[in-house]
Amino acid sequence: MTLAELLAAHPDIARRTAQRMIARLIDSGQVAALGEGRARRYFWMDAQPSDAVFATGVDSFPSFIPLSADSQDILTYIDQPLEARKPVGYQRDFLDTYRPNETWYLSESLRRQLHKMGRTADVNEPAGTYSRAILNRLLIDLSWASSHLEGNTYSRLDTRELIEHGKAARGKAAIETQMILNHKTAIELLVENIDCAGFNRYMLMNLHSALAENLLPNPADEGRIRQHAVDIGKSVYRPLSTPQQIEDMLELLLGKAKQIEDPFEQSFFMMVHLPYLQPFADINKRTSRLAANLPLFRANLCPLTFLDVPEQAYSRATLGIHEMTRVELLRDLYVWAYERSTQEYLAIKQDLAEPDPLRLAWRDFIKQTIREVITQPRVAPLSCIQRAVAERLPEDEQAAVQDLIVEELRRLHEGVLARYGLRPSEFTAWKAVNRY
């Protein structure tokens, strides 16, 4: 049945309540979901159509994702009831024994396959060229798919409306809207700082802070090492609880990540070890998914957007790391997910218009000028723009760049403020004075 059909059959249940109940049933394995948007249908596990991708037990992992025998072994173990699995803590040897460029989670043949799948025409261009060219689409897809893995009920179309027009979807919880906007900010943070972003403490803390803004019970935990013990839902794994131990292992983790030369191995390494360490109070998996894209952005490879990755599959693969320190199941999912992403992005790149070379050449100046205009609401916008252009640009480019700035100013809305380093309050104050 669709959600609309379920609500019609149970008019006494509110839509949001029904969505929460369905999400719990999916998590427990009693219900499977197929399709997207209004076409999404829900099935009891014992009454699914013959072509459904879920079943009970080990087969609850989607059948369209190829799995090795090792991955099947992992599923057999983690699909047991909690009481049948052995409680485990953080295994330091898992990280200690990894030797960058000597240890490989992804075999040479797999890395060749991934490079072949993800290669773009921009592979020899400056770092970040490709991710900037597809940024608008990337913001929507990665924000939506990564949020969807956390149970966010925004549709892809809802996400597009929010990111492109600043329009929150009706009937959605504020936490869901905040989650999408935080992803957008975090992705822009990576892409805009691609020349200096790396696997270091500064990048990771600020990435987490962007993803966590206004979502944690204690705002002080945004971008800060975890100060207390945490439990992993539906798992017998218990992460480290002492802040100093977490600090030490994070430094070791980042040090090893920086040394890895292959972008895919580096990407997968972060997806494995960051959630395993759980360095933050929450939002560790989201942070790892975006951090896993940094090496791909830098190498001008197709991004890993997690499009169509089933939440149950991702959760099981992560449990395989947590409880068994085995990477095979997550590896198989990673390869499948990357192939799915590349099919989407290599197709859309053919239809993308080339970036405006003038906008690209003066992008920092344009952003700085927009910021100057908004933070000086009492100064006439056009005079501010004209003065900046006259002072800093060659005469033969002044008129064209001025037109670009005016165009961007007219399109300015709350959904793009982070691009210019602006706060909503600054934009609101400017609009109160100007009707540009």
324 and 403 in a common domain: no
The answer as to whether 370 is a domain residue is yes
Q: Is residue 114 domain-shared with residue 230, that is, in the same domain?
A: yes
Q: Does residue 66 belong to any structural domain of this protein?
A: no
**For range 110-114, the mean pLDDT:** 95
Do 157 and 246 lie in a common domain? yes
pLDDT reported for residue 51:
36
Instruction: pLDDT band for 363, please (50, 70, 90 cuts).
Output: confident
Same domain assignment for residues 315 and 386: no
31 and 99 part of one domain:
no
252 located within any domain: yes
Q: Secondary structure of the chain: what % helix, strand, coil (to 5)? A: 60, 5, 35
CATH number at residue 27: 1.10.10
Average pLDDT across the chain, whole number: 89
pLDDT at position 148 is 95
- The number of domains in the chain is 3
Q: Are 391 and 260 in a shared domain? A: no
User: Is beta strand 41-44 parallel, antiparallel or unpaired with respect to 31-34?
Assistant: antiparallel
Is 169 among the domain residues?
yes
Q: Is pLDDT of 29 > 80?
A: no
pLDDT given at position 354:
53
- The CATH number of whichever domain residue 112 belongs to comes to 1.10.3290.10
Q: Quick one: 149 and 38 in the same domain? A: no
Residue 231's domain comprises 82-349
Residue 301 has pLDDT above 80, yes or no: yes
For range 202-209, the mean pLDDT: 95
284 and 381 assigned to the same domain: no
Residue 197 pLDDT level (bands cut at 50, 70, 90): confident
Using alpha carbons, select from 324, 292, 301 the residue that is nearest to residue 145.
292
Mean pLDDT of 330-339: 96
In a domain, 298, yes or no: yes
Q: What is the pLDDT of residue 35?
A: 66
Which of the residue ranges 131-135, 268-272, 323-327, 410-414 would you say has the lowest mean pLDDT? 410-414
60 falls within a domain: no
Domain boundary among 349, 384, 409: 349
Query: 212 with 294, same domain?
Result: yes
Residue 72 lies in a domain: no
> DSSP 3-state assignment of 423?
coil
Q: Considering the domain boundaries, does residue 272 fall inside one?
A: yes
Q: Indicate whether 156 and 224 sit together in one domain.
A: yes
What mean pLDDT do residues 175-200 have? Answer: 94
pLDDT-derived band at 182 (thresholds 50, 70, 90) equals: very high
Confidence grade of residue 344 (pLDDT, cut at 50, 70, 90): confident
Q: Are residues 397 and 329 in the same domain?
A: no
Q: Cβ(337)–Cβ(373) under 8 Å?
A: no
Global pTM value: 0.70
- 102 and 166 part of one domain: yes
Q: How confident is the model at residue 432 (pLDDT cuts 50, 70, 90)?
A: confident
The answer to whether residue 93 scores a pLDDT higher than 50 is yes
Nearest 5°: the CA angle 84, 85, 90 is 160
> What distance in Å separates the CA atoms of residue 137 and residue 159, rounded to the nearest whole number?
11
Confidence bin at 56 (pLDDT 50/70/90): very low
In this prediction, residue 47 carries a pLDDT of 40
Choosing from 311, 329, 349, the residue where a domain stops is 349
Burial of 277 (0-12, 13-18, 19+ CB in 10 A): buried
